[in-house]
Amino acid sequence: MPRLSPDARAALDRNRPKPLRPSPQLPDAERKLWRQLVAACPAGHLTERDRPLVETWVGLTVASRKLAAVVAAATGDALLDRDSPASRALATSMTLAKTLAALANRLKIAPLADHSAPHKAAGRRAPPQGESPRLGLVGRK
């Protein structure tokens, strides 16, 4: 394969999409996580339209890590007592985990998030027109 000239390399660098930058109002912990996420994604994967979802994801991830520290420091009795802060932290962290998983799928940063890729969607077969599947059988509407 031929090597790129310095001019060609410079042209490629100019056309490369800029990484999504964190908002100035984000706290330091969220900014650090933002940069880690953007660095882990391919160039151009996260765009400006993803900003609200990424901000939500980093905020919830930081909160989830704080709750995980509370749960890890708790005793078994404290986790079983419904009124204890550790038990409430565990319940909240479970809710956050579900929300983070949904956001990760939406942002296509989850390990199995490519399930809806266009090249895979073309391989799925839609039911024939005028027919709909019922209980595993194809029947008329």
In the chain, the number of structural domains is 1
DSSP letter assigned to residue 127: P
Residue 115 belongs to a domain: no
Q: Which domain holds residue 73?
A: 26-109
d(CA 69, CA 67): 5
Residue 5 belongs to a domain: no
Q: How far is CA 93 from CA 14, 17, 34, 49, 137, in A?
A: 42, 35, 20, 27, 41
CA angle 121/50/42 to nearest 5° reads: 70
pLDDT at residue 111, as a whole number: 74
Residue 105 belongs to a domain: yes
Residue 48 belongs to a domain: yes
Residue 13 belongs to a domain: no
3 or 69: which carries more pLDDT confidence? 69
The model's pTM? 0.67
pLDDT at residue 6, as a whole number: 79
